[in-house]
Structure 1
């Protein structure tokens, strides 16, 4: 199992725990962090694909 997989599972467990505990601030933080991470990942992947195409 890769570190990335463990991190994803850990985030899922924390998100579920936050929902069950009605910890809306933490859930908001996790959601924003997921969006920022996704945008950064897309930017890196897009750069890699454009370098391969040249």
Structure 2
């Protein structure tokens, strides 16, 4: 497995959980980024992808 992506409401709390509880190694941080109300692919929050290509 190359990587796993998760969306969490609190980055600090998530990092503490992964490091302190699961024993993961904290490697680096990116950002900060400005939240313009859009996420992946420029879709609005709450949008969903009903079909993807194989």
Task: State the TM-score, normalizing by the size of structure 1.
Answer: 0.32
Task: State the TM-score, normalizing by the size of structure 2.
Answer: 0.32
Compare the two structures and name the one with the higher strand fraction: 2
Give the structure, 1 or 2, with the largest relative contact order (CA under 8 Å, sep 6 or more). Answer: 1
Compare the two structures and name the one with the higher helix fraction: 1
